[in-house]
Amino acid sequence: MKARFSKGVYTVPVNTVAILSPGDMGSGVGYALGQNHIDVITCLRGRSSRTRELAAKGHFRDIPTLGLLVEQADLILSILVPDQAVSVAEQVAAAMRLTGKHAVYADCNAVSPQTTLRMETIITEAGGQYVDGGIIGGSPTRGTPPRFYVSGEHAHVVAKLDGKGITVKPIGDDIGRASGIKMCYAALTKGTSTLQTALLSAAEAMNLTDELVSEFEFSQPAALKQMNGGISRLPPNAHRWIGEMEEIASTFEHLGVTPYFHKGAAEMYRLLSRTPYAEESPESANKDRPTADTIRAVVDLLRPHISADEQAAD
């Protein structure tokens, strides 16, 4: 691979993209890039059978070691659960030092600007080039290309993937801008889902569900439609979104904005992750399950607390 010098920056051809890891989003992105003639690789050492199946469906090439992956990749996209992002950046940095290959590393995870600045230091101290990224939207396999917001002086490298199954939106040279927009966006979307779950669970615990739903049908039909279309899809993903809510809380607190909305959202996702439906995968989840079933599963977990309060009142 040869770098070309153009208009003051080195431009590197992006022919081989490594994705760590091919989960729900990562496998969809990899499949879309592969359909657009990008060589997509990953390292499946130690990964679960589900991840291996998703990688196979996405037509990934499995590279046996992280060192070999770093040597072959023109660009590395980290697409993980937030609480694994720093650890993977450290592993890739170690591989860069071992191999002497200094790849472009784009962290595309739902992390705070503070966390992404920490990872920038990890990667750049190993000789790599760092891009801050944030993904908004679903997997490309669902029909609409997700938006990859990117920032940093090397964001132009990720921008070479624009139109290849994903939409890339560079938003400046400062690390933290892309992560910041992801934090604010997810604060609304995933945060709202936990508020809806909480209020419906409270209504169910007080035997007020029918009355509340009737009122929503009259005065908040759009909100009710959103609840019925989204809440039952939460449990299989809840474990991944606990860390995301904590990163949002950290972002807000750093800015002097109250973190407690999203600390509460993290608690709701912890509760959802304990329901029986959380044992499903995003692929196997029953997308037609009534919202009421999910809410009853949450309330079942609350029963000991409710009973204890009732006994204390007596």
- In sequence order, the β-bridge partners of residue 131 are 106
Amino acid at 40: V
Q: What's residue 312's pLDDT?
A: 53
- Give Cα 294 distance to the centre of its chain: 22
Residue range 181-313, CATH number:
1.10.1040.10
Q: What's residue 55's pLDDT?
A: 95
| Domain range list for the chain | 7-174, 181-313
Phi-psi region of 25 (alpha: psi -120 to 50; beta: other; left: phi over 0): alpha
Q: What's residue 11's pLDDT?
A: 62
Q: What's residue 5's pLDDT?
A: 38
- Give me 197's structure tokens: 């779950």
Walk along the chain (314 residues) in steps of 10 and give the mean pLDDT of each run.
43 90 94 97 92 94 97 97 96 97 96 98 97 96 94 97 98 98 98 98 97 98 95 94 98 98 98 96 85 97 70 49
Superfamily of structural domain 7-174: NAD(P)-binding Rossmann-like Domain (3.40.50.720)
- Give me 251's structure tokens: 């972002």
Q: What's residue 314's pLDDT?
A: 46
